[in-house]
Amino acid sequence: MSADIKTEKIIKSEEEDDESEVEIWKYVFGFTPMAVVKCAIELGIPDILEIHQTPMTLTELASKLGCSPSSLYRIMRFLSHYKIFKQKPVVSETSSLSSSSVTGYVNTPLSRLLARNGKRSMADFVLLESSPVMLSPWHKLSARVLGKEESAFEAAHGVDDVWKYAAMNPGHSKLIDGAMACDARVAVEAVVKGCPEVFEGLKTVVDVGGGDGTALRLILEACPWIKKGINFDLPHVVSIAPSWTTRVEHVGGDMFDQVPKADAAYLMKVLHDWGDEECIAILRKCREAIPKDTGKVIIVEAIVGLNEEDDNNKKFSEVVLMLDMVMMAHTTKGKERSLKEWSYVIHEAGFTRYNIRKHLQTYHSVIELYP
C-alpha cells in the first residue's frame, strides 16, 4: 500500500470519527426537541403568533404569556434554530422601514402545525406521544426484546396495552382521541386528494375504530353521495364523541365480535395495533359486514419498504420505521407491515384480491380489499 493511500485512509477515518462525535450528541439529548416543542404548545406560542400575524417582539410575547423574558428568549432561540419559529424585523409604527435593532417572531409552516386551533394541527399528537404515560414504556423496550417482558407498555403500567389503559383513564383516552383526530385530518385529506375513486359508488361506510368520528366526518364532507356513515368504536370512546352531522351515527361495540353492516368498511391505523391473528379476525368480521358482490374494505396504513424506490414518497420512509418502534413500545403485538406481511393477513382473512394505491402525500398507503 502506497504512503499516499495510507494517508488518505487515515484522514478519512479521522473525518468519520469527527462526524460520529458530533452525531452522538443527537442521541444523548435526542429528547430535547420534543420536550421544548411540547413546552411551546402548552404555552400557546404558535396560537398567539398566528393571532398577532405581524412579528411579535420578545417583550410583547413575554407580556402576553406572563413569563420571564430571559427564559422565553432561550426557548425561542432554540426553536428558531430548529426553524420552528422565524425571526423577522419589526416594522416601525411611524415608518414603512424596518428597524435593524428590533426583531420579532413569526410562525413558520412547521409551527402552524403546532397551533391548537390550526386546521391541520398536530399539537394533540405531540402532547400524546410526549406524555409520561407514552414515554414510560420506552424504558422497558430492551426488556421486551430480551423476552423478559411480553409488553413494554404492561411492564410500565400494569395493563396489556394503551387501549385498556385508556378505558380506565378518561383523561388519557381524550388525549388519544385528540391525537387520532390530528392524524385523521392529514390522512383523509391525502386520501381524498390522492385517490378519491376509492369512495365512488358507496352509499354507506362504517369506520372501524373511528375514534371521535373526525375521519368519517371529513370523508362524508368530501363525498356527498355517501348517505350514511357509522362511526364504530369501543363504547367508552363513542359515548363522548361529538354529534358531527345527522349523516354520522356513533355505534359502540367490539370489532372482534361484530362490525356494523355497510357498503364498505374503513380502517385507518387500526390493524397496526394488532398481531397477525387479531388482524385476520378483524378483517373476517369486516368481510361479513359488507356485500359479497359489491362490498370492499378500505385499509389506510403504512407499508414498510413500499416507498423506498418512490422519490415522491421516500421522505416518509423514516416515519414508517419510527412508527414500527412506537408499536413495539405501546402495543403487545402491533407492528408496521411489509407488503408481504399485508398479503398474508389479507388472504388468510378470505379476501380474493386487493389493490394498493401508494402515491399519496402522506406516509399512509390505501389498500382496497375485495371478497
- Measured CA to CA, the distance from residue 170 to residue 174 in angstroms comes to 6
Contacts of 280 (CB under 8 A, 6+ apart): 345, 348, 349
Kindly report the three-state secondary structure assignment for every residue of 174-223.
HHHHHHHHHHHHHHHHHHHHHCHHHHCCCCEEEEECCCCCHHHHHHHHHC
- How does the average pLDDT of the chain come out, rounded? 89
Q: What's the pLDDT score for residue 98?
A: 47
Bridge partners, 252 (sequence order) = 233
pLDDT in tens, 283-299: 999 999 999 989 999 99
Break the chain into its structural domains and give their ranges: 32-112, 123-370
Per-residue pLDDT band for 242 (boundaries 50, 70, 90) equals confident
236 catalytically annotated = no
- Measured CA to CA, the distance from residue 159 to residue 213 in angstroms comes to 26
Q: Which residue has the cell 432554540?
A: 78
Per-residue pLDDT band for 313 (boundaries 50, 70, 90) equals low
pLDDT in tens, 4-58: 566 566 555 656 666 888 889 888 999 999 999 999 999 999 999 999 989 999 9
359 catalytically annotated = no
Query: Which of 271-285, 325-339, 350-364 shows the lowest per-residue confidence on average (mean pLDDT)?
Result: 350-364
Contacts of 247 (CB under 8 A, 6+ apart): 220, 226, 227, 228, 229
Of 301, 330, 364, 368, which residue is the catalytic one? 301
Domain 32-112, CATH number (from 1.10.10.10, 3.40.1440.10, 1.10.1740.10, 3.40.50.2300): 1.10.10.10
CA–CA distance from 332 to each of 133, 160, 255, 269 (Å)?
A: 16, 7, 18, 16
Of 272, 330, 364, 368, which residue is the catalytic one? 272
CATH class given for the domain over 123-370: alpha beta
pLDDT in tens, 175-207: 998 898 888 888 888 898 888 899 999 999 999
301 catalytically annotated = yes
Residue 76 pLDDT exceeds 80: yes
Phi and psi, residue 264, nearest 5°: -145, 145
Helix (H, G, I), strand (E, B) or coil at 50: helix
pLDDT in tens, 88-131: 988 765 545 444 568 899 999 999 999 988 778 999 999 999 99
- Tell me whether domains 32-112 and 123-370 share a fold: no
Q: What's the pLDDT score for residue 4?
A: 59
CA 92 to chain centre: 41
